[in-house]
Amino acid sequence: MLKRIGKNMTAILVALGVICAMCFAGYEIYDNFIKEESVYAVARQGSTGNEVKSIQKKLKELGYYKGEIDGIYGSKTKSAVISFQKNCGLTADGICGKTTLLYLGLGNSSSGSGSGSYSDADIELLAKVISAEARGESYEGQVAVGAVILNRVAHPSFPDSLSGVVYQKGAFSCVNDSNWYQAVAESSKRAARDALNGWDPSGGAIYYFNPAKTNDSFMHSRTVIKTIGSHKFCI
């Protein structure tokens, strides 16, 4: 009887050991998952650290944040995030989750698909802007619009990321109008890739405008280097 009890106790202890090991392994997997996901989801009011500094720096470059780059996600940072989210048509909750970070150009979804250092999200965003800004233009005109955006990324006077250029405050009116929410044209997707692959029909322009649709004195004062369709491309 004692031997049988001893064997049963041994079996129970072994089973408990296996269960504990499985629980620990599960915790490790969960913990690693949470840590990996937190790259996208930790930034909210009360957060601190280098991630918050990166968010503040990007928002400041885009003209949304006026405070110090202190790594403290306070009310000023939250207000800036909400303003950015509203301008981008995102849920304006003041939390920098995965989508908001991707729109800020701070996500890490690099595609490695032959378009340089640009992510899939960047390519989709460029196609979306081309579709909204150059709807009805020739294919060359669509590529030229994409090229201007990329020229700005490389220019010292503009933000150094594609999303930064697109969402720079006041830069592109299309992000606030109905065209932004229309389906992206297939030609715009091709135009985005052609622009990313180096085709620049604009001749190096960093501005473009439709003279029939804007009276902006700054745009009309720029040096026009090329006209394609209804757009004048300028430096």
What phi, psi does 234 have (nearest 5°)?
-135, 170
Q: Indicate whether 114 belongs to any domain.
A: no
Tell me the pLDDT tens digit for each residue of 103-119: 776 654 433 333 456 77
Q: Coil, strand, or helix at residue 96?
A: strand
Q: Indicate whether 90 belongs to any domain.
A: yes
**CATH code at 89?**
1.10.101.10
129 and 230 inside one domain:
yes
Give the total residue count for the chain: 235
84 and 145 inside one domain:
no
Q: What is the pLDDT of residue 15?
A: 54
Mean pLDDT of 77-90: 84
- Crossing angle between the packed helical segments 186-196 and 139-154, to the nearest 10 degrees: 40
pLDDT at 37 over 50: no
127 and 222 inside one domain:
yes
In one-letter notation, the amino acid at residue 109 is S
Q: What is the pLDDT of residue 209?
A: 92
Q: Indicate whether 39 belongs to any domain.
A: no
Residue 18 belongs to what domain range? 1-33
Q: What is the pLDDT of residue 139?
A: 92
92 and 24 inside one domain:
no
Q: What is the pLDDT of residue 12?
A: 56
Nearest to 126 by CA among 106, 143, 108: 143
127 and 75 inside one domain:
no
Which residues are within 8 A (CB) of 91 and not within 5 positions of it... i.e. 6 or more apart? 85
pLDDT at 95 over 80: yes
pLDDT at 34 over 50: no
150 and 126 inside one domain:
yes
Q: Indicate whether 170 belongs to any domain.
A: yes
pTM as predicted: 0.56
Mean pLDDT of 137-157: 92
Reported as a pLDDT band with limits 50, 70 and 90, residue 143 is: very high
Q: Structurally, how many domains does the chain consist of?
A: 3
* 179 within 8 A of 135, measured Cβ to Cβ: yes
Pair of tokens at residue 145? 């619009």
